[in-house]
Amino acid sequence: MRAFLVLGLLTLAGRWFFCRDKKGISDNIQFITLHELLNKMDMKETFLLFIGRLEQAETQRGLDRLGQMNQTVYFLNVSEMDAVLYQEFAKVYRIQAATHFAQFNGKHQFVTANALTVDLAYFNYL
């Protein structure tokens, strides 16, 4: 019983942390669901995508850094996704790291980079 109570409190604390952090993200970062992302791909749009778990420190640092860009970066929060669906998506695009930053043109992934170390000036001109 106590284990369930502790687990419940941790879940609530995690949700509070998650909601609080969403508000502090830069205006150029747009949250996107997998369904919306697949629609963008079907429309053959060119866009930047950052994938991670919002509650992880590496993702937070990546979002802070990408928030300095002059263009929209779509953020896919893996924490809010069905694990099996994400694993299928990650397998198709060979995503293996905890965070992933890439440029897509439709369903084609052209450029991948580490969001913490990449020269953002390159992506500002795409």
- Domain annotation for the chain: domains and CATH numbers: 26-124 (3.40.30.10)
What are 8-44's pLDDT values in tens digits?
544 544 544 444 355 568 899 999 999 999 999 999 9
Q: CA separation (Å) from 40 to 36, 45, 76, 100, 107?
A: 6, 6, 13, 18, 9
CB 76 within 8 A of CB 37: yes
Written as one letter, the residue type at 30 is Q
pTM of the predicted structure, to 2 decimals: 0.79
Q: CA separation (Å) from 121 to 71, 112, 124?
A: 11, 15, 5
What are 92-121's pLDDT values in tens digits?
999 988 899 999 999 999 888 889 888 888
d(CA 52, CA 56) in angstroms, rounded, equals 8
